[in-house]
Amino acid sequence: MIAPMNQPATTPFAPPFADLPPGPCWAVIFSSVRSAEDEAGYEATAARMVELAAQQPGFQGVESARGADGFGITVSYWASEEAIAAWRRHAEHALAREQGRARWYSGFALRVARVERAYGSTGSHDDTAT
């Protein structure tokens, strides 16, 4: 699931890569192992969280992947630590986190990191450093 940017794209990346504005940003890296419980409920909630996050001040984009074994990584990008903290306090997000712990994840880890630069290639562009 990829959320559209709520800002104009400033890098040449296209889905499944998040288009990020130039300059440093913050990344919230959520690694998890899904349980087999309530797939439909999980998918609906995950889609809603991406939709809701995209409406939050400071949200810059998201990238997500999950393997057949249930292990997944979602990286959301934010303009500041304050924006991350506000998202964490959002009531609907807090409820989804509780449901995740109780029903949807057999394990998870969350990391927050500052991204100083980014570069890559989508196959149609040369490596681009920002």
pLDDT digits (tens, 9 = 90+) for 21-59: 777 999 999 999 999 889 899 999 999 999 999 999 999
Statement: residue 72 has pLDDT above 90: yes
pLDDT at 52: 96
Rounded alpha-carbon distances, angstroms, from residue 1 to 66, 86, 120, 127, 130: 10, 22, 20, 24, 24
- 71-78 and 59-66: which strand pairing? antiparallel
Domain boundaries, the chain: 1-72+80-116
The pTM score is: 0.81
Residue 119 sits at the vertex; the CA angle it makes with 116 and 122, to the nearest 5 degrees, is 150
> Alpha helix (H) ranges present in the chain?
39-53, 81-89, 91-99
Percentage of the chain surpassing pLDDT 70?
82
Tell me the CATH number of domain 1-72+80-116, given options 3.90.1150.10, 3.30.70.100, 3.30.70.3270, 3.40.50.620: 3.30.70.100
* 122: Cβ contacts below 8 Å, ≥ 6 apart: 12, 13, 14, 17
116-128 pLDDT tens trace: 988 877 666 555 5
pLDDT at 20: 78
